[in-house]
Amino acid sequence: MPTLIDLRRRIKSVKNTQQVTKAMKTVSTAKFKKAQRVIQEGRPYWRGTPALIWDASRWTGGLGHPLLLPREERRVHVIVLTSDKGLCGAFNSNLLARVQEFLDEKSKTAAVRLILIGKKAVHHFRKLAFPVDRAVGDKTDKLEENALRDIARELMRLFLHQETDAVYLAFNEFKSVLSPRLNIKRLIPVVPPELALHHVQPGGIIVPAWEPGPRGVLDALLPRFIEDQLGHAYYESQAAEQAARMMAMDSASRNAGELIHKYFLVMNKIRQAGITKELLEIMTAVEALKK
């Protein structure tokens, strides 16, 4: 049986922990709101661009742009986006497990090289045999857009010089607050997006004129699309991370509350038992004196 003083001490410590988790929840809620706003404001762009790419690649017909042409994958780059910090549930471990599976599969047929963004990814792959081309393991949440753009440009260069055959991107996509969606998608060559019937004209599809020529337009469109996709994935991951931390901290606070409640019950029981015992002793003493 724990003593009263032990229980009081434990309640105090759990209360402190609860305060910390509550504070962390508040902080990640604020950060989440910010990240969510970025995603929401970018939505018109992400709704429109895939359709544009689709239209453009269809209108150009057989004119293949190198960034659209898949080839046999012998060398593959994989970008892994995780967070720097833990305390966000299974956010990182789920993704890393999925990536591990994916890498095991890919490395059967191709040489895999990695680009890691996020301290958790860097730590995870430090012990593994995959060569790492670039690792950003510090202050990932304050990463400049230019840094991401640089990575995308470098990869496009490698792809166009036939030094890599495909680039994959693994990240947590923000689906809802309750759970992020693990996503591994091919970044280069561009996967022509699903058919989007956003502006089928009455009387057939109008094939537009190009300026300066279909190739020129694709040249302007595709590299930017790839860069933007990486940037977008980064913000998705940020939002998903904060949402995951929000949920984790919320349930931690709730658990702490339950624990406190439990300890209080035990404490009250002990106190009550003590009082009863004392009363009994007094009564017995009084009875004994009467005799």
Residues interacting with another protein, by CB under 8 A?
38, 41-42, 44-46, 48-49, 52, 55-56, 59, 146, 199, 201, 206-212, 214, 216-217, 219-221, 224, 228, 231-232
**Which C-beta is closer to another protein: that of 2 or that of 48?**
48
Q: How many CB atoms lie within 10 A of CB 38?
A: 15
Contact 233, 148 (CB under 8 A): no
Alpha carbons 82 and 104: distance in angstroms, whole number: 19
Pairing of strands 166-173, 75-81: parallel
Task: Provide, rounded to whole angstroms, the least separation between the CB of residue 147 and another protein.
Answer: 13
Least distance between another protein and beta carbon 39 (Å): 10
9 vs 224, which CB is nearer to another protein?
224
Q: Minimum distance from CB of 237 to another protein (Å)?
A: 15
Task: Please compute Rg for the chain using Cα positions.
Answer: 29
Residue type, 182: L
**Contact at 8 Å (CB) between 160 and 66?**
yes
We find the least distance from the C-beta atom of residue 154 to another protein, in angstroms, to be 18
Nearer to another protein, 217 or 267 (CB): 217
Shortest approach of another protein to residue 84 CB, angstroms? 22
Whole-angstrom distance, CA of residue 29 vs CA of residue 16:
20
Q: Which residue, 33 or 224, has its beta carbon nearer to another protein? A: 224
Looking at the Cβ atoms of 52 and 260, the one nearer to another protein is: 52
In the complex, the smallest distance separating the C-beta of residue 50 from another protein, rounded to whole angstroms, is 11
Contacts 24+ apart (CB under 8 A), 96-102: 96/120, 96/121, 96/124, 98/170, 98/182, 98/184, 99/170, 99/184, 102/78, 102/168, 102/170, 102/184
Distance between CA atoms of 56 and 54, rounded to whole angstroms? 5
Shortest Å, Cβ 213 to another protein: 9
C-alpha dihedral (134, 135, 141, 142), degrees to nearest 10: -60
Q: Which is nearer to another protein, 46 or 264 (CB)?
A: 46
Residue placing its CB nearer to another protein in the complex, 131 or 204: 204
CA distances, 79 to each of 92, 99, 134, 135, 146 (Å)? 14, 10, 9, 10, 16
Task: Say which residues have a Cβ less than 8 Å from residue 138's Cβ, sequence separation at least 6.
Answer: 84, 119
